A and B are shown apart, each in its own frame.
Chain A
Amino acid sequence: MEALSPETDWLTGLRQGNSAAFDAVFAAYRRRLYGYLVRMTRRRDVAEDLLQETFLRLAQHAKRLTDDTRLGAWLFTVAHRLVQSWGRAQAVRAQLAGDLPVQEPAGTERSPLEALADSQTQLALERAFAALAPAHREVALLVGLEGLQPAEVADILGIRADAVRQRLARARAHLAELLGEIR
């Protein structure tokens, strides 16, 4: 018999506007979502804003959550859409600013995120992930770091599972190439 997951209780609590249920969800998903957001935007301030917006959307839609809602997938879908909107806004800002690149390419100086790395291996990995194309990085993070299945990632990104598998292969090959160069 399948054991009841705590998510069922959390969903019930969220629908009832229960703060304790929110606290449990926040504690369970805060780091995971923040890790995804900070590695996608490469900015801590933006990642914090998007993290807040993700949980605000959860609070605002709490009454519409059903017992079979998969909270992780729901939260990552919202986070993904927010990252996309932010990316589009950044692109428009870059065009208005005279086509200057908004995102700095991974250079030799440590970004605030890379500063967290406490070994050369971690630093090399962080830089290699940062060097991936955003679409490939996203799939690599969701599958590699979050342990989601390609089919779940396809639902989150709104693309076919085949496309996820293709991005996965490209991300892995590119990472291998990058890490080979570094090592």
Chain B
Amino acid sequence: MSEPQNPEDDAMQLKELAGGLPAVDVDPASADRIAVRVRHDLGHGPPKRRLIEAILVGILVACTFGWTLYKAYEALR
């Protein structure tokens, strides 16, 4: 069973093995909770928080870059 095989044999053997794994599912109460939560967000696009985070990071990067340039200018003067 462990001698080298071609990829198709590997895949087939893994399918046979994995087929014996027990079935798992999220419990129904959690599944309902997740579905309700997701339905609420459906079609609303990414949360506004993401946009605000991106703007804040942009400002921070610009400020750091400006400060670095200013310091470099000061050192060369």
Contacts and interface: CB of A to CB of B under 8 A. Distances in A.
Interface stretch (A72-80, A82-90, A99-107, A115-123): A115-123
A143 B14 contact: yes
B43 A56 contact: no
Size bin of chain B's contact surface: 20 to 34
A30 B34 CA distance: 10
A60 B44 contact: yes
Interface in A160-182: 165, 168-169, 171-173, 175-177, 179-180
A154 to B, nearest CB: 12
A177 B61 CA distance: 52
Contacts of B11: 143-144, 150, 168
A158 interface: no
A44 to B, nearest CB: 8
B77 to A, nearest CB: 42
Nearest to B20: A125
B3 to A, nearest CB: 9
Nearest to B25: A31
A135 interface: no
Interface residues of A, number: 54
B21 A30 contact: no
Given A165-B7, A172-B5, A19 B22 contact: no
Nearest to B11: A143
B34 A175 contact: no
A121 B29 CA distance: 29
A26 B35 contact: yes
Given A17-B43, A56-B41, A116-B24, A147 B7 contact: no
Interface string A42-62: 000001100110011011111
Contacts of A14: 42
Contact of A117 (B4, B5, B22, B26): B22
B21 A63 contact: no
Interface of B: 1-2, 4-5, 7, 10-11, 13-15, 17-26, 30-31, 34-35, 37-39, 41-47
13 contacts: A16-B43, A19-B42, A26-B31, A26-B38, A34-B24, A52-B34, A55-B34, A60-B41, A60-B46, A122-B20, A141-B18, A144-B19, A150-B7
